[in-house]
Amino acid sequence: MTSTPKQLQQDQTMAKQDKHSHQRVASGRRGLPKSSSGTGLTIVIKLGTSSICDEITHFPLLSTLSLIVETILKLKAQGHRVVLVTSGAIGVGLRRLNLASKPKDLAQVQAIAAVGQGRLMSLYDDLFSQFNQPIAQILLTKNDLADRTQYLNACNTIDALLEMGVVPIVNENDTISVSEIRFGDNDTLSAITAGMIHADYLFLMTDVDCLYTDNPRTNPDAKPVMTVDDIAALKEKVSVASAGSSLGTGGMVTKLIAAELATAAGVTTVISRGSTPQNIFQIISQPIQHVGSVSPKSDSETTEVTNALAGATISSLPLHTRFLAKDNPMMDRKWWILHGLHAAGTIYIDQGAYKAITNASQKSSLFAAGIVDCKGTFVAQQSVRVVYRPRDYLKKDEQGQVVEEYDGPEEIDLGKGLVNYASHEILRIKGCHSRQIIDRLGYADAECVIHRENLTRTKVIQS
């Protein structure tokens, strides 16, 4: 099928963006952080509300904030690039307005955030100014990153600030955010920021030392979790049901989500206590490889030695939880599609398309023939979820009764992608072969509904 001028232009733009992404990744690092080779790290530090304001009086915790500032300055003096992601605008706003608690009305909360954001930045500026260190304010929403050009502009702006020696301070723009464009919490925002700038480390500073097997406040038998290589397996063994503080929006659950996002982008993620930020120096001085990972040439004896050495290194460090970065992180464009874009709808696919998309070696595009339904209203080049419903394909007898047992999820989320056709067009061409599209629509903008370069998979099966 011949490509249209519009499609050729999109392909050329995509190629340029992919080239830019590869250059940015190549200029950074993957695997072990750069400190192991003697060069500077890019570090994102996320400071939660509980580390900034007293939960009851809402007065700023100046001792903690001063330690954070001093830590950032020492890291910069060692040649590292540091970005601070901060919460606390609502807490500071409550103190300024002499309010006892956060209201439930959205407009009032956003108004309090507007008051608090200016005071919060003034507080940071006062502290950093004691050391003649310039800072910059960056307020983001998901809408700001939904456009590819704006996303790249945000990346380039942060890079430029770091090159100028400025400390960027990032927060969500609570004053205008609504549920559809919110990151949800600053743990997620910090993970996306870390992925955008290809950071080496993301530190989630909180009011506990690390992740525990259960809530240490209520269970004295809770054990610390020091290193995590498989977050999905961790969720099955660890209780993280405790909520965040009364001022914050997060908790340990949101930190696990942030760790998943960041490690997928190749960022080592650490949960550590906010009141002891000086522990960061020891943690980054001992980069840990994947404990228990075996190279093709390694044997069981070598693996045991590696595990022993890694365990000894970890035990000598301050309490913290380290989530190891993925060996094969997503490229920049794929990361943007998955985490920078709001899904405008959902496409449901059949069993054949499910097998083709999740096959690690096949890397297939999504064609109309494999689509059974779509929900939502969207136009071409918007982002949609790709979902498979396994119950629809269980074995049945001659009477149509299901004879195969299944206790898995009703829907399996396979990822997100940018569509070549609008929702009303997909409903007309679903199930048909690519050569039949022109008969159904009278035109054919593309052979596939989602091109493989515009499809980010969250589920991949090794063949």
- Per-residue pLDDT tens over the stretch 80-122: 999 999 988 989 999 999 998 888 888 898 899 999 999 999 9
Predicted confidence (pLDDT) at residue 226 exceeds the cutoff of 80:
yes
Residues 24-37, mean pLDDT to the nearest whole number: 43
pLDDT, position 304: 42
pLDDT, position 397: 67
pLDDT, position 334: 84
pLDDT, position 268: 95
Grouping H, G, I as helix, E, B as strand and the rest as coil, residue 338 is helix
CB atoms inside a 10 Å sphere around CB 403: 9
Out of 5-19, 162-176, 213-227, least confident range: 5-19
pLDDT, position 184: 62
pLDDT tens for 170-203 read 998 878 766 544 566 788 889 989 999 999 999 9
CA distances from 408 to 233, 260, 271 (A): 16, 22, 31
Who's near 424: CB < 8 A, 6+ residues apart? 377
State the alpha helices, DSSP H only, in 274-361: 279-284, 300-315, 332-335, 351-358
pLDDT, position 183: 65
Residues 329-344, mean pLDDT to the nearest whole number: 81
Residues 377-393, mean pLDDT to the nearest whole number: 89
DSSP assignment, residue 359?
A: B
Give the span between the Cα atoms of 291 and 268, in whole angstroms: 14
Residues 207-215, mean pLDDT to the nearest whole number: 84
pLDDT, position 298: 39
Predicted confidence (pLDDT) at residue 20 exceeds the cutoff of 90:
no
pLDDT tens for 123-146 read 999 999 999 999 999 998 877 777
pLDDT, position 342: 79
Give the span between the Cα atoms of 136 and 63, in whole angstroms: 22
pLDDT, position 19: 46
Q: Which residues of 200-212 are buried (b: 16+ CB within 10 A; e: fewer)?
A: bbbbbbbebbbbb
CB atoms inside a 10 Å sphere around CB 339: 22
pLDDT, position 51: 86
Tell me the residue length of the chain.
463
Give the span between the Cα atoms of 14 and 170, in whole angstroms: 28
Give the span between the Cα atoms of 420 and 423, in whole angstroms: 10
pLDDT, position 22: 41
Rounded (5°) CA angle 388-392-396: 145
Predicted confidence (pLDDT) at residue 15 exceeds the cutoff of 50:
no
The CB-side HSE value for 187 (13 A sphere, CA atoms) comes to 22
* pLDDT-based confidence at residue 278 (cuts at 50, 70, 90): very high
Rounded (5°) CA angle 106-118-60: 90
Residue 338, exposed/middle/buried by CB under 10 A (0-12, 13-18, 19+)? buried
Tell me the Ramachandran region of residue 184: left when phi exceeds 0, alpha when psi lies from -120 to 50, beta otherwise.
left
Who's near 404: CB < 8 A, 6+ residues apart? 394, 395, 396
Who's near 194: CB < 8 A, 6+ residues apart? 44, 83, 202, 262, 265, 267, 269
pLDDT tens for 300-311 read 443 343 344 445
Predicted confidence (pLDDT) at residue 227 exceeds the cutoff of 80:
yes
Predicted confidence (pLDDT) at residue 262 exceeds the cutoff of 60:
yes
Higher local confidence (pLDDT), 59 or 218: 59
Q: Which residues of 278-311 are buried (b: 16+ CB within 10 A; e: fewer)?
A: ebbeebbeebbbbbeeeeeeeeeeeeeebeeebe
Predicted confidence (pLDDT) at residue 405 exceeds the cutoff of 50:
yes
Query: What's this model's pTM, rounded to 2 decimal places?
Result: 0.76
pLDDT, position 8: 44
* pLDDT-based confidence at residue 433 (cuts at 50, 70, 90): very high
Residues 236-253, mean pLDDT to the nearest whole number: 58
